[in-house]
Structure 1
Amino acid sequence: MKSNIRNDADAELPHAHLLQVIYLILFSTVWFLDSFIFSFSTFLASLIPLAIRVILALSVLALGFSMTSLGHWLLFNKKLPGLLTTGIFAHVRHPMYLGYILAYLGCIVGTMSLLSIIPWLLITHLYAKMANYEEQKLEQKFGEEYVEYTRKVPKWIPR
């Protein structure tokens, strides 16, 4: 039985999954403790009405989860040969990473935990490093086709 899963694991930054789990634990710990236990840096929450924070947080979370889901679906469930340049990949080169970054940001917006920005920046740096690594591998694999794709499609900010 043939699998729908793409075998591009060699294109991933070594230990990327482990690093993502470690950073998830770090972010979750800092965010939870600051947001719900100690409130070291959540003073902005008292200045912004809860309804506005909830609407903004849910909007950012929904955008993040949508980008991640669309990217994941195209990458792993569709049987598309070659370089993916359609769907969400026609608008941004790393929709799943951007989606994860936005999901974390949505948590920060919801509680206004400024301390959580520190692990969020570390996570953002990790995803940038992962994206750079993968782009080198994709350029090796697809050559000029990938270079042309990078000229047309932005890395992080969708068009």
Structure 2
Amino acid sequence: DSFLLKWTTFLSTSLPFPLRLLGGLFLVVFGGYMTWVSHETVFSEEGLHGLIDWGVYGLCRHPMYLGVVLLFLGLSITTFSIASLLISATLFILYDRFTVFEEEMLVEALGEEYRDYQRRVPKWFPRFW
């Protein structure tokens, strides 16, 4: 987008590129790792049966989606483009709306066990306190 929509990158001069690259690369690597670990957990032998509330799923209820959003956000930070930041924000909003329906199905399938999981584990951002 910085080639086609040059006017959307005016923020890039407010932060030196090496800092944007380091921050963006951290989020890309962390987001990719989180997505991969989530995927491996879901499709592991233990993950194929019932509620998964261990590993990254013990930190937040939607780590796979969060990983994808962090990956896109990392790319957005590297370019500091308003267009790519809007795409990342839109992706987060769409995932957030999708999870409402997904969680309704999980409550229907798993009942009180999933409701308890919802009370214990935050939807998006882990609590480290």
Equivalent-residue separation in structure 1 for 2:56 and 2:62 (angstroms): 9
Cα contact 1:98–1:156 (8 A) shared by 2: yes
Q: What residue is the counterpart of 2:42 in the other structure?
A: 75
CA deviation profile, 1:105-158 (whole Å, cap 9, x unmatched): 111100100122222222111101111111000000110000000000000001
CA distance in 1, matches of 2:91, 2:14: 27
Distance 2:45 2:22 in 1: 33
Q: Any conservation in 1 of the 2:77–2:85 contact (CA below 8 Å)?
A: no
1:150 aligns with 2:118: yes
In structure 1, the gaps of 5 or more residues are 1-32
Q: CA deviation at 1:79?
A: 3.4
Equivalent position of 2:88 in the other structure = 120
Normalising by structure 2, what TM-score?
0.91
Partner in structure 1 of residue 16 of structure 2? 49
The answer to whether the 8 A contact 1:64-1:101 is kept is: yes
Identical amino acids, percent of aligned pairs: 37
Contact 1:40 1:115 in 2 (8 A): no
Root-mean-square deviation over aligned CA pairs: 1.3
TM-score w.r.t. the length of structure 1 is 0.74
The whole-number CA distance in structure 2 between the counterparts of 1:130 and 1:82 is 21
Q: Give 5+ residue unaligned stretches, structure 2.
A: none
Residue matched to 2:32: 65
- What is the CA–CA distance in structure 1 between the aligned matches of 2:41 and 2:3, rounded to whole Å? 37
Aligned residue type for 1:48: L
State whether structure 2 residue 61 is matched by structure 1 residue 86.
no
Structure 2 counterpart of 1:107: 75
